Structure 1
Amino acid sequence: MTTTLPRTTIGPASLTAREISAWFGDHKVLDRVSLTMRAGEVTALIGPSGCGKSTFLRILNRMHELVAGAALAGEVLLDDGDIYAPGQRVTDARRHIGMVFQKPNPFPAMSIYDNVLAGLRLTGTRASRRVKDALVEETLTKAGLWREVADRLRQPGGALSGGQQQRLCIARALAVRPRVLLMDEPCSALDPTSTRRIEETIAELAADVTVVIVTHNMQQAARVSQRCAFFLAEQGTPGVIVEHGTTTAMFDHPRDQRTLDYVHGRFG
């Protein structure tokens, strides 16, 4: 029996999708997808473009329902609490399940300091200046950005480089102390140096927050994740999970030939 979400629990949580199907209007994009993303681990969602990975990710923190004509069936459990339970507030789900998008999206005219704290305002969280200062330093440190910006916190976030902006967005997401962090191709627009720094940040975060990342970069999936799920949509059918398991098994000894072909670049 599922429950509503707790309001005060911190630390990484497991996230379980049960029989998730999704539609945009009459077009079905996911068909009965089930997956457990273990607490304190990095799970990579891999597969060709158009197979429903990003849609699945948005379902995990109730962003799918913002799209006109979108619909879904199934359950998403944060530990044992259903984020879609009747009466469950969207803001509570998103407080526990943060999101970092493909393109860095800091508030460009807002200072680095205020960017980090933006989520507190959105959730109506009050804090003293001392607490805010400590939170900014803590989250920027976790995002691997503190040393680079500590002496210019009052400068606009939009003045940072692309890689720095992405890490600022990670810090902003962490400031509300989520238990899960969703990342939709966070390195696709970044140079190799920035990509490496983001990957290091992901590895460092896993002790404090469960990470689910969509990536088309197989080397990145192999580097950063402990577990993988391979999505595929064939010949106009909805996306499904072909198989999932430890990253090592998925890359070295997959059960399905299609998985082997994909991770070794033979299609997609």
Structure 2
Amino acid sequence: MKAVVGDAGPRRAGPGASDPATLEADGVSAWFGDHEVLERVSLTMPAHRVTALIGPSGCGKSTFLRILNRMHELVGSASLAGRVLLDGEDIYDRGRRITHARRQIGMVFQKPNPFPAMSIYDNVTAGLKLGGVKAGKEDKDWLVEECLTKAGLWKEVRDRLRQPGGALSGGQQQRLCIARSLAVRPRVLLMDEPCSALDPTSTRRIEETIHELSGEVTIVIVTHNMQQAARVSDQCAFFLAEQGTPGVIVEHGPTEVMFGSPQDGRTADYVNGRFG
């Protein structure tokens, strides 16, 4: 196994290691019943980069995020059009299994959701069984250490790996969820407002984790915090739904351009706090 170097010393890459992928939405529209919530959204989310999705509540950002790993279709009334390409291959093609898409495109939710009665160790390895990945005890031990280290949690929990994940603080639980997502070796990690319920110290640690992970996994994050978007992302996409119309991308580009010299006046108004 390939050695990985981190703050806990040399470690081995666990089972199923993979490279970051470019994710591309091509003309994506989405509905709940007859209500259209997104209209022809196209966006490239490059490998090795952090893409922030910004915009007011109700403009379709979280729906778009869920479309990117096939969670949208779990809602009975939901439908969509367009394509989602993972390194050029449509994850919605007939014959492509939904579990395969979710293994490659992980999700961290707004509210931390570790398995509360399950140990910290078992929380990290839970995805292996769900994904049908076989690993021996030694490989699992390396994987737990590696993923907790990448999530910035190893030093805090290494002496209590057999304690329940639900006993951790909110910020620690969110980092545990990040470690659990990393354990199945996703190529893309989606994050839906991962810091919205956290205190400033925990938020800072999650942002540090995002920065450290960005070289190893493509990250797409929904955030309402403009300062956070400016700090953590390489590029931004500004979503807006006006006067009952479906959500669209008004503008997207490098973060420094979006915040410093946006092309659309609505973008300038939003990033400067004049609405939203």
- Normalised to the residue count of structure 2, the TM-score between the two structures is 0.94
Equivalent residues in 2 for 1:121-132 (5 A)? 121-132=129-140
Cα shift at 1:68: 1.1
Asked if 1:110 is matched to 2:100, the reply is: no
Q: How far apart in 2 are the matches of 1:147 and 1:188?
A: 24
Contact 2:17 2:185 in 1 (8 A): no
- Check if 1:49 corresponds to 2:57: yes
Query: Could you tell me which residue of structure 1 aligns to residue 26 of structure 2?
Result: 18
**Separation in structure 2 between the aligned mates of residue 121 and residue 186 of structure 1, nearest angstrom:** 25
| The one of 63, 74, 81 aligned to 1:73 | 81
1:3 corresponding residue in structure 2? none
SS in 1 for 2:56: coil
Give the letter for the 2:172 counterpart: Q
How far apart are the structure 1 equivalents of 2:146 and 2:129?
Answer: 18
Amino acid at match of 1:157: G
User: Does the alignment pair 1:98 with 2:80?
Assistant: no
What is the alpha-carbon distance in structure 2 between the residues aligned to residue 137 and residue 82 of structure 1? 33
Q: Partners of 2:122 and 2:31 in 1: how far apart?
A: 37
Seen in structure 2, the aligned counterparts of structure 1 residues 73 and 9 have a Cα distance that, compared at 3 Å, is: farther
Distance in 1, matches of 2:88 and 2:255, equals: 25
Deviations 1:55-94 (A, max 9, x none): 0000000000000110000000001111000100000001
Unaligned runs of 5+ in 2: 1-15
Paired AA for residue 50 in structure 2: V
Report how many residues are paired: 261
Indicate whether 1:226 and 2:249 are aligned: no
SS in 1 for 2:268: helix
1:202 aligns with 2:177: no
Verify the 8 A CA contact 2:31 2:37 in the aligned structure 1.
yes
Q: Percent identity?
A: 79
Letter of the 1:81 partner, please give it.
E
2:152 aligned partner, one-letter code: G
1:9 Cα deviation from its structure 2 partner: 7.4
- Structure 1 length-normalised TM: 0.97
Once the two structures are superposed, what CA deviation does each residue of 1:114-151 show, in whole Å capped at 9, x if it has no partner?
A: 00011001011110000000000000000000000000
Residues 76-225 of structure 1: pairs in structure 2 closer than 5 A: 76-225=84-233
